[in-house]
Structure 1
Amino acid sequence: MVYFQRVSDTKFRATDHASGAWNEAEQHVAPALGLMAHVLERDRDRRRDDDLRIAGLHYDILGPVPVGEVEVVSRVLRPGRTIELVEVELSYGSRAVVLLRGWLLAQFDTGQLQGTELSEIPSPEDLEPWDVSGVWPGGLIRSIEGRRRVLAEGRSQAWIRTPHALVADESVSDVARFIGLFDVANGIAVRADPREAFFPNVELSTQLFRSPEGEWVGYDTTVSFGPDGRGVTHSIVHDRNGPVGLVTQGLTVRPQR
């Protein structure tokens, strides 16, 4: 009931629960992105005690990775007292598979300034149960519970959660757990049957203005396809208290027939 098991200080073994939706011999990248955020936070906490917060993350997905052992290494690119830029690399064998650059920001009391005009979405209890595996295969998809309402083609609101731990026998923050489900957004509001079109994302970016809490991850998602093979999945991400930030995914769109 876990996505990864730690092998050493920098190496992790993916379980079958992390297998992907496009190819079950490959990892779904969602848990891997959460793992990288977890490694980033653990490295931060080893280096300093002021708990800089994750503000923005950008992941470049360089290629598929088999379900197996990966190495994850974190390094500081831009050190600072109140702002840091950190890079995390996930590799399989000697090949880099995912690169992450993340901005960490110091905490300041902005309680009197907080606010957003982003719309809330219905609670999980107000949406119909959704069998995600009815559309997508893979161990990750089978491991999650979903609730969804479809608003239009390529437009949906949904909540998902998983009972599986991201890393066996390790404390993982709500932020890293949330990020470990962000890549699922690309399958929430599909514009095309995945048997007829191939539309994986080549990158994912997220910006958070509040730290998420709880087990349910909410999405207000819109998918757009252009005329020449490019697409974008855009999601406002929620916890039960409201919006927490956004996720965008750049897609390569390719007809399969």
Structure 2
Amino acid sequence: MTTAPDTLLGDFELATDVPACYLPLGDDRFAPTIHVQGAWRPDEQHMAPVGGLIAHAIETHEPRPELQLARISYDILGVMPARPSVVEVHTVRPGRTIELVEATMSVDGRPVVRARAWRLATGDSSAAAGLELEPMPHPDEFPRWTGMEIWGGGYIRSLEVRADPARRPGRARVWMRSGNALVAGEDVSPTAAFLAFADTANGIAVRVPPGEWAFPNVDLTVHLLREPVPGWVGLDTRVNLGDNGIGLTSSVLHDVRGPVGTVEQILTVRPLPGS
């Protein structure tokens, strides 16, 4: 393990030599690695892998293969320090075909994210199927994009990104993937692995420079029509900023088979001191 100025955080050091976002510590505890490091601050966890970890904990809580995670909403309660984290899960509303599950992630005894997920029974509805969501071009049709380098942190550095050349402030279509596992040594579902990218949407179509403005999201809500296939994650994103300090990032989520669902993020928008 090597030490860099932004990996030694108080009495905890982010591992840099592990090809995974988290190391399992037992008893529902997980240690973040450098691949979780946040974009706004080097001493916090990025919400994207946090979202994947929480989804993984929910899916492995009293698992039922006949139910699909169809909606998950995360409330971000504050800064998520890049330190060992505990994820606790319980069932709020059990049911044969519909189930509501809640998870809380805590760091140093303080809750930092609370999530609720609906798990719904799947069945054959092919006779009624139909989509209005437009598919994205295949990742091979977009060139590699280095625009994410405006952001700091180990999570963003771990991504391979391809973007539509027609992207502009407030509008972008992007494909991304990572060579890192979500949790070292654990089987992770395609859904949890996919959700480890959803929060990245707020950083791909920025309207204002992140060095001059702060626009973090305080929530993340994902609806999924189906289980995604592993590999590339596509984001078809629109960003709207109001004149009252509130913004909204809206995205359609894709895999290489087509649209998978949607993600919404509400933003608090404010100028940074000295900008």
| TM-score, structure 2 normalization | 0.90
For 1:102, the aligned partner's letter is A
**1:1-257 to 2 correspondence within 5 Å?**
1-45=19-63, 49-149=64-164, 150-256=166-272, 257=275
Residue 241 of structure 1: how far off its partner (Å): 0.7
Residue 214 of structure 1: how far off its partner (Å): 2.0
Q: Deviations over 1:55-104 (max 9, x none)?
A: 11110000111211000010000011100010000000111000000000
For 1:8, the aligned partner's letter is G
Q: Is the 8 A contact 2:148 2:203 kept in 1?
A: no
SS in 1 for 2:41: coil
Residue 111 of structure 1: how far off its partner (Å): 1.8
Write the distance in 2 (CA, Å) between the matches of 1:9 and 1:42: 14
SS in 2 for 1:223: strand
Residue 122 of structure 1: how far off its partner (Å): 1.3
Q: Is the 8 A contact 1:28 1:140 kept in 2?
A: yes
Q: Deviations over 1:188-232 (max 9, x none)?
A: 110011001100100000101111102100011000000011000
SS in 2 for 1:43: coil
For 2:52, the aligned partner's letter is G
SS in 2 for 1:87: strand
Stretches of structure 1 that go unaligned for 5 or more consecutive residues are none
Residue 132 of structure 1: how far off its partner (Å): 4.5
Write the distance in 2 (CA, Å) between the matches of 1:151 and 1:117: 22
Q: Is the 8 A contact 1:132 1:142 kept in 2?
A: no
Alignment identity in percent?
45
Q: Is the 8 A contact 1:132 1:145 kept in 2?
A: no
Stretches of structure 2 that go unaligned for 5 or more consecutive residues are 1-18
Write the distance in 2 (CA, Å) between the matches of 1:51 and 1:8: 27
Write the distance in 2 (CA, Å) between the matches of 1:163 and 1:151: 25
For 1:175, the aligned partner's letter is T
Q: Is the 8 A contact 2:149 2:157 kept in 1?
A: no
SS in 2 for 1:4: strand
Residue 112 of structure 1: how far off its partner (Å): 2.1
Write the distance in 1 (CA, Å) between the matches of 2:39 and 2:106: 20
Q: Count how many residue pairs are aligned between Structure 1 and Structure 2.
A: 254
- State the superposition RMSD in angstroms: 1.0
For 1:35, the aligned partner's letter is L
Q: Is the 8 A contact 2:148 2:204 kept in 1?
A: no
| TM-score, structure 1 normalization | 0.96
